[in-house]
Structure 1
């Protein structure tokens, strides 16, 4: 397939902006429509205040009227800035209890029940043997095949797999030589992680003694910050390096050599997300204020790959989510704004 050099711009008339009272970092789309209105989708937003006291707000978005609704009762205090927020994936329909499960990471893994007009804390999952100290969690991922399972990554070099229904640790692995920055599930029992040691490693819970290194930073010990596993085609994953304008696309069948490197950002890439409905599209955002959508060609040309479309925000974009329930909507966060873009 020829790679197109023509860039198209995401239309600004198909974007909607929400301004928060504080800087935003963590974001999550719910996997089901709101029970109060089936056209609406819930979005959780976490504050980034360098202090103990932080907030999480749950707002709702109506793609038909391009409107955002705030709910004063759907907001709660969060200790420290949440490093990640995620709603329980693959809930097929709103349950009779009219509630959503939301998880957050920070000092601990916490579960919250989001009801129609209130949010209740459900559990605080802490695997620290000493109650006075805990190693901060950098990220987590919710297993969409077995939704009772969540994996967390920590600065203490470990990944911990929780059975959230029983509230117990299934297993804890020393995953890397340095801090683990992100974790992503592939299959029910297979996950991968990235670390400050510069490696991407794949683990299988059926064989906890071994892991497979499928990529290492070209410069030794350049940290890998984020990892996204392509849920439409599990052969592919993407990662980003610290202070790098590249998105590295990996094929787990051919370890060590990336199948593509997307290098059109003009500053550091901060977040990546695969399209939920297509195995060949991925979005990246960065310090150059750009959100770029890429279509991966069957064969990359000699001059690299150009983005399919691009969008410029008001300042450095630090976070990105692609809605699985409404796949033509992407959300980005920059400073205290959350912007929804129709793609």
Structure 2
């Protein structure tokens, strides 16, 4: 990554607590705003923001004291009234949001379950909508059974297994290519490689990115290019890869950055594609690429 020139190339923020997650604002007028997530073991720990209000609480388990924890969610970019969640109870749930009558100055928002399906044989760890087929109806999920499965809201009677880990290791995350919906990336629990898949060729990886020397924690496709992807891992490395030569083997990344700690998340700014954010320990760093 470029570290030279007149403009500052790295910005760093030291938080008072460990940073586990972060992401960029997608508002064009707030391009350099990020949200951070952490965990503080304090009974009174809470988020306080006078500018936000609860619009809608989505709860599909109102008759039970037990609610299976959610592991991930994804908002549909084409239809903002659709939201997908995954859970350890093996299911994926697609929620529909509806804006009702205006009460005072507030539009009342309600949510309902459009569909809930048993997506995997074990816990589901991630869900993400695809931009294929118009970008509204198709999504994929990964889980503890070691598989990547693809679903179509128009034909939920069956799913397509895109990939199965040879050793049946749990798959933790998946990430769709932002420019070419045929490609997605996934990673296994405690795995040191990222697997690139082509949905047109199920079960056969088109590339394996394996230069990391410790387990991979984050994946981020470039928002403006179909052939660039960034991976981050416990080896302190954030690596950018050029995958144009697929299906030939991709040996080395084109750019590398070494942080001062184990990187647990990476995000590529959709409104500022020359900036990548990483977090490790209690630090957030923004890197110009």
Query: TM-score, normalised to structure 2's length?
Result: 0.88
1:315, distance to aligned residue in structure 2 (A): 0.6
Name the count of aligned residue pairs: 271
Structure 1 residue runs without a partner (length 5+): 1-8, 56-75, 78-113
* 1:232–1:277 contact (8 Å) kept in structure 2: yes
**Residues 299 and 161 of structure 1: is their aligned pair in 2 closer, same or farther, counting only changes over 3 Å?**
closer
- Of residues 148, 155, 161 in structure 2, which corresponds to 1:213? 161
1:175 aligns with 2:119: yes
Partner of 2:259: 313
Cα shift readout 1:268-290 (whole Å, capped 9, x = no counterpart):
00010111111100000000010
Partner of 1:227: 174
Partner of 1:68: none
Structure 2 residue runs without a partner (length 5+): 99-109
1:197 aligns with 2:145: yes
Greater mean alpha carbon deviation, residues 326-335 or residues 127-136: 127-136
Greater mean alpha carbon deviation, residues 118-127 or residues 203-212: 118-127
Residues 105-184 of structure 1 aligned to structure 2 (within 5 Å): 118-165=51-98, 166-184=110-128
* CA distance in structure 2 between the partners assigned to 1:134 and 1:271 by the alignment: 27
* CA distance in structure 2 between the partners assigned to 1:269 and 1:257 by the alignment: 20
Cα shift readout 1:272-320 (whole Å, capped 9, x = no counterpart):
0111111100000000010001110234545x42101011111101111
Task: Give the CA RMSD over aligned residues.
Answer: 1.8
Partner of 1:340: 286
Partner of 2:107: none
**Secondary structure of residue in 2 paired with 1:193:** strand
Partner of 2:27: 32
1:327 aligns with 2:278: no
* CA distance in structure 2 between the partners assigned to 1:52 and 1:231 by the alignment: 40
